[in-house]
Amino acid sequence: MTVDLDKHIVAPGGGEKLHWGGPAAGGVTILVDPTNTGETSLCVLTQTLEPGAMVPPHHHEKAEQVLFVVSGRGAIALGDRNVDVAPGATVHVPRRTLHGITNTGDEPLTILEATSPPGFQEIFREMHRLSEPTLEDIANIGAQHDINMQSNDDS
């Protein structure tokens, strides 16, 4: 089998770069997913949150994730717990588990994420197209991509 190295090896600084502002200000670099790599059963990306930015509490109906903190400081909500995280921390998020991330530091928080199965990364492409998505925009986009945001009545 011949492997297309341009699709399967991402050089430093490579990948599909997406950015946005708003309450989830930051961006992602998609490294591995069906769009960029071809057939795959996972998505791997780095997500960076600016200081004070957050990924609102949500869960994936079908996907599970592994989050590895690369740099910065933050808090990760997992189920009914909040945990402070620093570089080197690894968090496994089982499917259907409520989780969210907040950058509590004064520098960008960067997390390497692996998610299986892929599909949720499409929310990032849509957020990038909006440029300044609101929390309502994120919830509406998420509902189309296996992501269920926690509403104020979900406690």
Averages of pLDDT over each 10 residues, the chain, 155 residues: 86 96 95 91 97 94 96 97 97 96 98 94 93 91 84 44
pLDDT at 79: 95
Identify the CA nearest to 149 among candidates 23, 27, 19: 23
pLDDT at 155: 40
pLDDT at 146: 76
38 touches 113 (CB < 8 A): no
3-state SS, residue 3:
coil
Residue ranges of domains in the chain, CATH in brackets = 16-52+64-146 (2.60.120.10)
pLDDT at 151: 53
Cα separations in angstroms, 111 against 14, 59, 152: 16, 17, 26
One-letter amino acid identity for 93? V
Distance, in Å, from the CA atom of 50 to the CA atom of 86, rounded to the nearest integer, reads 15
pLDDT at 154: 44
